Amino acid sequence: MSNKIRVLIVDDSAVVRLTLSQIISSDPMLEVMGTASDPFFAAKKISEEVPDVITLDVEMPKMDGLTFLKKIMSQHPIPVVIISSLTEAGTQTGLKALEYGAVEIITKPQMNTKQFIEESQIRICDAIKAAAAAKINRKKNIEIQHVQPKLTADAMLSPNSVSHSMIKTTEIVVAVGASTGGTEAISTFLQAMPIDCPGIVIVQHMPEKFTTSFANRLNEICKITVKEAADGDNVLSGQALIAPGNFHTLLKRSGARYYVEIKEGPLVNRHRPSVDVLFRSTAKYAGPNSIGVIMTGMGDDGARGLLEMKEAGAKTIAQDEKSCIVFGMPKEAIKLGAADKILPLESIAQYVIKPNMI
């Protein structure tokens, strides 16, 4: 009996179905259960055999992906990974899909360059594994294994450059990292923030362009200002900066001014942007003037960086298991002793605002 994660691919493009099949089949933990060109054909396959995870396009004939997703979640919840094109309409629809219950959202692979294909393979396979382990009404305990090497934050910032002699100031910077399930967690966190909250920098594992739409949507529903970070943006009270997809985001300091640097670079801990990169730079340039928060997500990105922040004098928080969609990243940080506090999602904002009250 196979313990592989069984995947149903739903996309109207034969080329995309073939490409995804090849990518998914390359991972020994995954197998393609079947493919479907539209939701009606997919429903027929599901009635015959239930997959562990569905990859779903959002723009299809006969029935769009959002309608199909609603039906799945209301009738027979199955973890869904949205695979969408980088269009403005696609990003809005993709974010709506997350609200409707999709677990992950990633970019459709394009057969342009060897690097893009390799990175797409990592992202797609990891997203499927994360979805299989996510908390939804129907869940299956699957041991998640990584089969490809991953770089650490050393690829972007030397560990011996972290300073522990940062002078304490009254300006606090909050660094936040999240992955699977993080869009809802970050929304909850930011909506609880008052307009005079400390400046916040966030890494949410998400494709480029989707982070723009994500930031814009948060800006509409939060008291504070939320925007996608641009190179050189100041970190300001009452504002949250969302790291742009496909770029690393580092915190820097010039005198009393904190700002962000947006950089290209390799995948770190299988991600770009990487939480570890943000956390290490925060440890170096803010030290005891910072608060680190690690939220729901698969893998261990951010765990070592949170420990570096703690060792540099920062206050550190990990989201608790009960409120996580996937208790991976916080769990790894807790195992390292990196978290001062382990808190439910609803309590994290309160602690950030008044860290001595909890």
Q: DSSP 3-state assignment of 162?
A: coil
Within a 10 A sphere around the Cβ of 25, how many other Cβ atoms?
A: 12
Q: Give residue 16's Cα distance to chain centre.
A: 23
Q: Which two tokens stand for residue 76?
A: 């027979």
**How does DSSP classify residue 198?**
P
Q: Which two tokens stand for residue 223?
A: 């008291």
Asked about 76 being catalytic, the answer comes back as no
Active-site residue, from 57, 301, 320, 323 = 301
Asked about 301 being catalytic, the answer comes back as yes
Measure the CA–CA gap between 74 and 320, rounded to whole angstroms: 27
* Contacts of residue 143, Cβ cutoff 8 Å, sequence gap at least 6: 3
Closest CA to 24 of 174, 127, 175: 127
Q: Which two tokens stand for residue 236?
A: 């300001």
Active-site residue, from 37, 120, 179, 323 = 179
Residue with tokens 């994500």: 214
Asked about 254 being catalytic, the answer comes back as no
> How many angstroms separate the Cα of 142 from the Cα of each of 30, 32, 52, 81?
11, 16, 10, 17
Measure the CA–CA gap between 54 and 102, rounded to whole angstroms: 10
Active-site residue, from 205, 233, 248, 276 = 205
Measure the CA–CA gap between 58 and 280, rounded to whole angstroms: 36
Within a 10 A sphere around the Cβ of 320, how many other Cβ atoms?
A: 19
| Contact yes or no for 162/254 (Cβ under 8 A) | no
Exposure letters 233-255 (e unless 16+ CB within 10 A, then b): bebbeebbbbbbbbbbbbbbbee
Q: 174: which strand partners? A: 200, 291
Q: 292: which strand partners? A: 175, 316
Active site residues: 179, 205, 301
